[in-house]
Amino acid sequence: MSDSPQLYRSSTTAPVNIAVIKYWGKRDTVLNLPTNSSLSVTLSQKSLRTHTTASASESYSGDDTLLLNGEQEDIKSSKRTQACLKHLRSLRAELEAKDATLPKLSKMTLRLVSENNFPTAAGLASSAAGFAALVRAIADLYELPQSPEELSLIARQGSGSACRSLMGGFVAWRAGTKEDGSDSKAQEVAPASHWPDLRALILVVSAEKKGVPSTAGMQTTVETSTLAPARFTDIVPRRLKEIEKAIHEKDFEAFGRITMQDSNSFHAICLDSWPPIHYMNDVSRAAMNAVETANRKAGKTVAAYTFDAGPNAVIYYLEEHAYLVAGVIRSIIPYIPGWEGEFAEKIRPNEFGGLEQRTLMTLKTGVSRVICTGIGGAPEKIDKHLVDESGQPVSVD
C-alpha cells in the first residue's frame, strides 16, 4: 500500500475595498476593462475579510470546485472564474516546464473553499474580496513569482474592483488603453501605514429591494447616459490626480471633498441613464445630511460619505475626529449591532451633533447595523486552512 497522494494547500485572507473615485462603466465587458481609472481604500481585514483556501491533489478528480459560505458555487459555467483559473494554471505550467522537480499542480483538480466573515445580507460587495482571495490563494499554492500588480490583471477578469483588493492602503486601478487589457491593472498609491488613522464607518441600510446589478447597470449607463462621456474622459482623470495629491499630502479636506463629489457624480450618471438607476434612498440622503452637518459644525471637512451600488453609506474620517463624526451616529443608533471591536472602542457617543429631527428619525428607522473599520493592508497568507488534510472542507472562522 502506497501513501495517499500529497495534498497541497494555501490559505489567504483578502480585504474589501471601497472606492473613492468610482468604477462605473466597462469599455470591454469580457476583459472587464473600465471606461475610467478608479481609486479605493483597502479596509482592515480585522473587520471584513474573505478567507480562502486553495487546495490541489492527485487524489482529487473531476471539475474544480468552489465552496462559498458552505454552498457549492457553479464555477464551471462562470466565465469570469474560469478565466482566472486558466490564467493562473498557465503561469504554474510555465514554472513546471522550467523545473521538472516541481509537482504538476497545474494538472490537478482544485478544491477551493471560501468564507466571508460578514453577512451577505449586509449588501456589501463581496466579489472584490472574493476574487482577490481566490487569485491570491491559488497564486500562493502555485508559488507564482508574479507581483500583486501582475496578479491584479487576473483578478480584474474575475471582478473589476477585485484587482484593487490585492493591495493595501490606497490603490489605483489604472484603466489603461490597450485593447488586450495588459495595462489595466492595480497600483498601490500609498500603503496603509502612510495614513493609518483613516477610519471608515459603514451604515448598513435595510434596502427594501435589490437594486440593478452593477454589471447590467454599468452597461446601461455606458450605452445611454449623455452626461457620462464627460465623466469618463475628462472629470475622473482630473479628479484622480487631485485625490492622489491629497492622499500624498494627507489633506483630509481635499480627500473628503473629492470623495463626496465623485460619489455624487457616479449616482448622477446612474440617474441620467435610461432607464434611470437609483441606488440611494432617503436613508442614504439622511446619512449625507449627517455628514454635511458634522462638517458644518466642525467648520471644515472632517467626514466624507461615499455610496456604491446600493443604499449603504461609507463614511471616511480621521481617528482624531471620531467623536465629531462616528460619535454622533453612535448616539443616535446605539443599540444596533456593530459598535464593537477595536475600531469602535474609541467612538464615544456624541449627543451634540445638531442633526435635524427628520435626519435623526430616518437614520433611527433605516440603519440596521454599522461596521466600524479603518484602512488596512494587502491580503495575508495564513495557516488556518478551510480544507483539512484529507481534502474535506472545515470551518475555522
Of the pair 46, 257, the CB lying nearest a copy of itself is at 257
Output the smallest distance, CB 292 to a copy of itself, in A. Answer: 7
Strand order of the β-sheet with 303-306 is 303-306, 313-318, 198-205, 367-374
210 sits near a copy of itself (criterion: CB under 8 A): no
Question: Residue 155 and residue 166: Cα distance in Å, rounded?
Answer: 8
Question: Residue 280 and residue 252: Cα distance in Å, rounded?
Answer: 24
226 sits near a copy of itself (criterion: CB under 8 A): yes
Residue among 19, 26, 39, 18 at smallest CA distance from 228: 26
Q: Identity (one letter) of the amino acid at 228? A: A
Q: Provide the grid cell at 248.
A: 500624498
Selected binder of a copy of itself within 275, 299, 335, 383 (CB under 8 A): 275
Q: Which of residues 236-265 bind a copy of itself (CB under 8 A)?
A: 257, 260-261, 264-265
| Burial per residue of 22-33, b for 16 or more beta-carbon CB atoms within 10 angstroms, e otherwise | bbbbbbeeebbb
Q: Provide the grid cell at 80.
A: 469570469
Output the smallest distance, CB 393 to a copy of itself, in A. Answer: 38
What share of residues in the chain are helix, strand, coil (percent, to 5)? 40, 25, 40
Of the pair 150, 272, the CB lying nearest a copy of itself is at 272
Q: Alpha helix (H) ranges present in the chain? A: 79-98, 127-141, 148-158, 214-224, 228-230, 236-248, 252-271, 282-298, 326-332, 342-345, 357-366
Number of residues engaging a copy of itself in binding (CB under 8 A): 30
Selected binder of a copy of itself within 70, 196, 276, 354 (CB under 8 A): 276
Output the smallest distance, CB 294 to a copy of itself, in A. Answer: 13
Question: Residue 223 and residue 178: Cα distance in Å, rounded?
Answer: 21
Of the pair 22, 136, the CB lying nearest a copy of itself is at 22
Of the pair 78, 224, the CB lying nearest a copy of itself is at 224
Selected binder of a copy of itself within 3, 99, 208, 383 (CB under 8 A): 208
CB 51, CB 69: distance < 8 Å:
no
Q: Build a one-symbol-per-residue string for 278-297: x at contacts with a copy of itself by CB under 8 A, - elsewhere.
A: x--xx--x--x---x-----
Of the pair 166, 283, the CB lying nearest a copy of itself is at 283
β-bridge partners, 194: none
271 sits near a copy of itself (criterion: CB under 8 A): yes
274 sits near a copy of itself (criterion: CB under 8 A): yes
Selected binder of a copy of itself within 191, 229, 237, 377 (CB under 8 A): 229
Selected binder of a copy of itself within 172, 235, 243, 371 (CB under 8 A): 235
> How far apart, in Å, are the Cα atoms of 382 and each of 14, 137, 166, 360?
11, 10, 15, 42
272 sits near a copy of itself (criterion: CB under 8 A): yes
Q: Which of residues 345-374 bind a copy of itself (CB under 8 A)?
A: 356, 358
Q: Which of residues 139-168 bind a copy of itself (CB under 8 A)?
A: none
Output the smallest distance, CB 220 to a copy of itself, in A. Answer: 12
Q: Build a one-symbol-per-residue string for 78-117: x at contacts with a copy of itself by CB under 8 A, - elsewhere.
A: ----------------------------------------
Of the pair 341, 354, the CB lying nearest a copy of itself is at 354
What is the DSSP code string of 232-291? Answer: IIIIHHHHHHHHHHHHHTT-HHHHHHHHHHHHHHHHHHHHTSSS------HHHHHHHHHH
Of the pair 260, 328, the CB lying nearest a copy of itself is at 260
Question: Residue 210 and residue 181: Cα distance in Å, rounded?
Answer: 31
Selected binder of a copy of itself within 269, 326, 332, 371 (CB under 8 A): 269
Contacts to a copy of itself by CB under 8 A: 208-209, 226-227, 229-231, 234-235, 257, 260-261, 264-265, 267-269, 271-272, 274-276, 278, 281-282, 285, 288, 292, 356, 358
